[in-house]
């Protein structure tokens, strides 16, 4: 049964994904204020929360739109009242393109492209539907995942898109995801500026071809302030800043606070020097390493699907509650159905994670 509003944190059933709503609101406000000072748009990434209500809070604070990694995630956002979405992964193949066109009837939707064949598919579908679909050319700025080569190849693709009926060339995306968790501030800065130079060169090439670049979007939580120094960047795509998982807390120079934990309960004390909790790999992801225990006195290690082990001094008693700070917020959120929103130590709301499992 769902917990009653007003339930104290330490009485919630476990495991539970818990939001410190004061920290969440402070992080959203801090990023919005940075965007105003820097003169850059903030288009937060929904992959961190997958929850339309959180996205609407970001929009209310001044965000220019919302990023979605997958089409299904964008559908969940739009169904939850979000009206401006950028799908930051390529949408390829007839079934997905039909869904994208349908989505564009109900919201302002843009999509990234890195291949002319994909652009032609999108053109045919949008033209048949009587729409003009906003398209952004993705540029590989060093991640070596998706994206066309920077400079002249990016400009050539932009020119092709601009000539296709049913499409509207909007600009460029260059995401340096491989740099978000470079912990050392000086190293991260130097590498980010190299990536931004590739994006800047691409914008210059597109503009020399006579096209307007309305959107030049890039960066994440770890690099947005660096990217914001570049005149050619119009907006940034941070996501994890709202939660600040344990891995991001190691990144030097990020001014945001932890606001997401997994509440776990101690279910066994049969082993000397250890306490077993009811949160394993089905409750807290380990792709970026084990979770950290809030307070710093104890160490957590996964012990299978449903269990984890705490070690350290002054171990909690049977039935006690502990909070785990996930090492990776995106993948941990995707394990849960609900966010348990806590203010002043008591449950204030339960928010459904509508984008959970939306991987298509």
User: What whole-number distance in Å separates Cα of residue 56 and Cα of residue 167?
Assistant: 27
Residue 113 shares a structural domain with residue 190:
yes
Looking at the structure, tell me whether residues 218 and 308 fall in a common domain.
no
Single out the residue in 241, 269, 301 at which a domain terminates.
241
Residue 217 in any domain: the answer is yes
Q: Is residue 248 part of a domain?
A: no
- CB contact set of 183 (below 8 Å; sequence gap of 6+): 250, 251, 252
Q: What is the CATH number of the domain that holds 114?
A: 3.20.20.10
**Tokens found for residue 209:** 């071809």
- CA-to-CA distance for 340 and 333, rounded, in angstroms? 12
Q: What is the DSSP letter of 49?
A: T
Determine the pLDDT at residue 2: 76
Q: Is residue 71 part of a domain?
A: yes
Tokens of 300: 């957590």
Are 287 and 231 found together in one domain? no
Asked whether the beta carbons of 96 and 125 are under 8 A apart, the reply is no
Q: Is residue 4 part of a domain?
A: no
Indicate the residue among 193, 211, 241 that finishes a domain. Answer: 241
CATH code of the domain containing 347: 2.40.37.20
Instruction: Indicate whether 312 belongs to any domain.
Output: yes
Provide the 10 A C-beta neighbour count for residue 181.
17
Distance CA 169, CA 186 (A): 35
Domain-terminating residue out of 209, 241, 273:
241
Cis peptide before 15 (omega within 30 of 0): yes
Q: Of 92, 83, 17, 18, which is closest to residue 55 (Cα–Cα)?
A: 83
Beta bridge partners of 301: 309
Same domain as 119, residue 55: yes
> Is residue 250 a part of any domain in this protein?
no
Same domain, 281 and 192: no
Residue 75 domain boundaries: 22-241
Q: Find out whether 75 and 103 touch, Cβ atoms under 8 Å.
A: yes
Is 3 within the bounds of a domain? no
Residue 114 Cα distances to 50, 120, 138, 139, 317, angstroms: 25, 11, 5, 7, 55
**pLDDT (0 to 100) of residue 157:** 98
Same domain assignment for residues 237 and 322: no
Per-residue confidence (pLDDT) for residue 136, from 0 to 100? 98
How many domains are there within the chain? 2
List CB contacts of 354: < 8 A, sequence separation 6 or more. 50, 51, 52, 76, 77, 79, 80
Q: CB-based contacts of 233: which residues, under 8 Å, 6+ apart?
A: 40, 196, 199, 216, 217, 218, 219, 227
- Determine, yes or no, domain membership for 359: no
73 with 157, same domain? Answer: yes
Which residues does the chain have with pLDDT short of 50?
none
Listed residue (343, 327, 319) closest to 287, CA to CA: 327
Q: Is 207 left (phi over 0), alpha (psi -120 to 50) or beta?
A: alpha
Show the beta-strand stretches assigned E in 101-237: 108-113, 133-138, 167-174, 215-218, 235-236
Query: Both 174 and 286 in a single domain?
Result: no
State whether 223 and 264 are in the same domain: no
Q: Tell me: do 87 and 210 sit in the same domain.
A: yes
Instruction: Supply the pLDDT for residue 258.
Output: 98
- Do 13 and 34 have their domain in common? no
**Considering the entire predicted model, what is its pTM?**
0.96
pLDDT at 4: 95
Same domain assignment for residues 188 and 279: no
């Amino acid at each position: 049964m769902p917990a009653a509003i007003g339930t104290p944190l330490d009485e919630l059933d476990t495991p539970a994904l818990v939001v410190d709503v004061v920290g969440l609101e402070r992080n959203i406000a801090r990023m919005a204020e940075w965007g105003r000072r820097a003169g850059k748009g903030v288009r937060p990434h929904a992959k961190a929360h997958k929850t339309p209500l959180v996205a609407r809070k970001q929009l209310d604070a001044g965000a220019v739109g919302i990023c979605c990694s997958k089409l299904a995630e964008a559908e969940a956002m739009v169904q939850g009242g979000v009206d401006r979405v950028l799908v930051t992964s390529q949408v390829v193949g007839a079934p997905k393109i039909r869904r994208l066109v349908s989505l564009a009837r109900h919201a302002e939707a843009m999509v990234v492209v890195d291949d002319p064949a994909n652009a032609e598919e999108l053109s045919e579908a949008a033209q048949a539907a009587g729409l003009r679909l906003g398209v952004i050319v993705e540029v590989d700025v060093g991640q070596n995942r998706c994206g066309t080569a920077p400079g002249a190849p990016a400009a050539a693709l932009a020119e092709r898109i601009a000539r296709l009926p049913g499409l509207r060339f909007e600009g460029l995306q260059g995401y340096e995801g491989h740099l978000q968790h470079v912990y050392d501030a000086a190293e991260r800065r130097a590498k980010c500026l190299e990536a931004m130079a590739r994006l800047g060169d691409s914008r210059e090439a597109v503009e020399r071809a006579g096209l307007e670049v309305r959107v030049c979007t890039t960066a994440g939580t770890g690099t947005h302030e660096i990217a914001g120094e570049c005149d050619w960047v119009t907006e940034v795509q941070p996501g994890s800043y709202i939660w600040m998982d344990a891995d991001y807390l190691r990144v030097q120079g990020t001014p945001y606070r932890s606001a997401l934990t997994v509440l776990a309960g101690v279910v066994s004390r049969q082993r000397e020097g250890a306490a077993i909790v009811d949160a394993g790999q089905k409750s807290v992801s380990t792709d970026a390493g084990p979770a950290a225990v809030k307070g710093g006195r104890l160490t957590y290690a996964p012990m299978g699907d449903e269990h984890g082990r705490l070690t350290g001094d002054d171990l909690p008693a049977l039935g006690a509650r502990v909070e785990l700070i996930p090492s990776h917020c995106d993948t941990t959120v995707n394990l849960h159905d609900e966010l348990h929103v806590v203010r002043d130590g008591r449950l204030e709301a339960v928010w459904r994670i509508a984008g959970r499992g939306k991987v298509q």
